[in-house]
Amino acid sequence: MGVRMVLLDQYLIARLEAHRGEGRFRYRTRRGPGRAPRRPAPRPRPPAPGMTTRMTICTPRVAVVLLAVIEAERIAHARDRAVALAELPARALPHRVAPDLGLDLGFAHPSIVVPSDVVGTHMFEAEPVIAVEFEPRSGPLGIPPHSRPGGRTNASAAEARPRRRDLSVDAASNQYGARPPPDKDPAPHPRSGRRADQGCAAGAAAGHPRQLSRIGIGRLRRFVYGHTGQHEESRHEGGQPLKEIPNVPVEGASPIEGGPGPVSRSRQTIIEPGDSANYNCSVVNFSQGCTTGWHTHTCDQILVVTSGSGNGRDRA
Amino acid sequence: MVATEHDKREINVGDVVHIKAGERHWHGAKADTTMGHITITAVGGQASWG
């Protein structure tokens, strides 16, 4: 099976980008009945005969008749010279279409069907919002209240609209009369390199804190170094234990040569057994002059020195 | 301190030590200091002492 991507005409995209923000519709004024437009703009459909008649009738009574001729920006097709309304590929809305009225209809009024083609650019540009709050200790992952679906943030508002799919095709073809692009495969955006559907996925992910936490961050904890108060004699307290985590004495405390005497070693488990299929991780605290003694692991071991004090220097 | 049969080094805060599997070693505090470190090993890894 082969997977290919068909690119849109890059010149077309660049041209649309260059004219972005300009008025799509111009209203030309025509003074008097006798002056025709210099270049008759091809219209999607000819005006009704009745309308033309009425204009003619009104002309003698009104000195200046403003005849609105909608000239949409038009791009001629290369082959059959058909003219279609130009649309940015799945990006901008047609002129005078409000991208977002701020109404969370999809959530507040589930019975209201929101047209699937009303899409704001902010939905494409939305970045995933990390909705995980720090917890001082282990426990179930909490969701900040403002990120819950009932919240009124932009992320939740975007979440509540499950209606942005196949934008690159539908937004250009259905509602606004523009013909679909020659190929249905959306091309990467020339600036961001992001395809429209990818941006849509990112926008959808922005409003799903639960889903995000499921795929990304299992548990986020913040440890603070400091004395736990478990030991009064700092001489026998190893290193600088982490707060909030039980400090459990462990075997394997051997005094170093020339050491002060009794030694102790303790462990504070960061990753509880069973939480990870791959790693054990804990903080080990050595009292003054305490070592592990000789030992061998059947796996690699990484040590990151976090504390050490003596003679005013951080030396272990 | 961290030591193997061939080497013995003084380590301090921020140092990272990688001990290969099967390497006989010890680590701990000097005679006049305390020491703490994070240790990371693989699940299922066993330590044999001595």
Inter-chain touch A310–B34, beta carbons under 8 Å: yes
A40-85: pLDDT as tens digits: 545 545 444 444 434 444 444 444 444 445 444 455 555 555 555 5
Q: Which residue of B has its CA nearest to A270?
A: B38
Confidence at residue A252, expressed as pLDDT on a 0 to 100 scale = 82
Partner residues linked to B36 by β-bridges? A285, A307
> Distances from the Cα of A32 to the Cαs of A14, A53, A66, in angstroms?
38, 14, 9
Q: Domain of B28? A: 1-42
Which of A264, A269, A302 should one mutate to test binding to chain B, selecting the residue with the greatest count of B CBs within 10 A? Answer: A302
Confidence at residue A193, expressed as pLDDT on a 0 to 100 scale = 42
Q: Print the SS3 string covering A85-102.
A: ECCCCCCCCCCCCCCCCC
Inter-chain touch A284–B36, beta carbons under 8 Å: yes
For chain A, list residues with pLDDT below 70: 1-243, 309-316
**H or E element at residue A67:** none
Out of B13, B18, B21, the one facing A314 most closely (by C-beta) is B13
Tokens 């008097």 found at: A32
Q: Backbone dihedral region of A97: left (phi > 0), alpha (psi from -120 to 50 degrees) or beta? A: beta
Query: Is B47 domain-assigned?
Result: no
The DSSP-derived string for A235-300 is GGS-S-PBTTS--EEES--EEPTT--S---EEEEEEE-BTTBSSEEEEEEEE-TTEE--SEEESS-
Q: Which residue of B has its CA nearest to A247?
A: B36
A188-213: pLDDT as tens digits: 444 444 443 443 333 333 443 433 33
**B23 to chain A: which residues are within 8 Å by CB?**
296-297
Q: Which residue of A has its CA nearest to B31?
A: A289
Q: What is the ipTM of this complex?
A: 0.96
Cβ(A303)–Cβ(B16) below 8 Å: yes
CA distance B3 to chain A (A): 9
Query: Is B27 domain-assigned?
Result: yes
> Domain extents for chain A?
10-85, 105-215, 224-316
Confidence at residue A209, expressed as pLDDT on a 0 to 100 scale = 40
Query: Is B31 domain-assigned?
Result: yes
Which of A279, A290, A304, A313 should one mutate to test binding to chain B, selecting the residue with the greatest count of B CBs within 10 A? Answer: A304
Out of A258, A285, A295, the one facing B31 most closely (by C-beta) is A258
For chain B, how many structural domains are there in total? Answer: 1
Query: Is B50 domain-assigned?
Result: no
